[in-house]
Amino acid sequence: MRHTFPVISTHLAIEVHGAQVYNHKVFEEFQEEAKCSIGTCKSRGFTECDSLEVTTVRDANRDINYEVTYCPDTLKATCSCRMLERKGILCRHVIWIYSSNGVKIIPEQYVVQRWCKDARLSKMFDCNGEATEDVDIIDGKQIAMSVMWSEIHQTVGMLMGKMKNDVDNFSSLIIQFKEKLSPLGSPLNKQQQLEKIFGCSPSQEITILPPKKSKNKGSGKRMLSMKEKAVALARKPKRLSVTDMTG
């Protein structure tokens, strides 16, 4: 399959280049976009800003206008349909712009290594993230780890053209999987952090008890108001005079 050449369905040189670099499955999707670029795409407006050309491309199949920004100096192109960012394949609108400007090959920055015929021949990485040239690896786990590192590096490379939200989602998935591999299964709570710092767990036997409550607001008797003092004084028996004592 790697050495066979698919049937070309258009006159576009960029389709021939896609057949040379892409694997068969990806090329089928790219070829469909190339065919649609001929029959369904037309210009509906053109503006220039500095070194950039902005073209409004009408997609007859979808009945939608898309804006394609193209830089002739660097061959950089972006389309409002965002297919390149989502799938890593040029959309029909960008292919139409390239064909109109005589571009015959897919720019190198838009060839995703993962979709190429020689993707399996790309550099592999060991468990430390370092490139390895050793192909005589016998251990099955080591091979699986190397393949995993290669997949991670290729995926991170694909995220270069993605939106920040896609990068955050991928990072969140990595963190979730990391938590699953953690011995505790989740981030350390406050008690677990203290145990890790002091190197021991709290004792289950309680030997120190809290002190008994004590009164700290005087003797505990309430002070009498002036009225209460006057009533108490009136009720107090009066002292007897000398006349009362001799009468």
Evaluate if residue 82 carries a pLDDT over 80.
yes
Residue 230 dihedral angles phi and psi, to the nearest 5°? -65, -40
For the stretch 3-45, pLDDT in tens is: 567 888 889 999 999 999 999 899 999 999 999 999 899 999 9
Selection from 133, 27, 135, 132 nearest residue 88 by Cα: 27
Q: What is the pLDDT of residue 138?
A: 44
Task: Give residues with Cβ within 8 angstroms of 112, minimum separation 6.
Answer: 88, 89, 157, 158
> Which residues on neighbouring strands pair with residue 58, listed in sequence order?
42, 65
pTM equals 0.50
Neighbours of 153 (CB within 10 A): 17
For the stretch 129-138, pLDDT in tens is: 555 554 444 4
For the stretch 108-151, pLDDT in tens is: 889 988 888 876 655 555 555 555 554 444 456 666 776 677 67
Angle at 244 between CA 239 and CA 245, to 5 degrees: 85
Distance CA 82, CA 87 (A): 9
Token pair for residue 134?
Answer: 């050793």
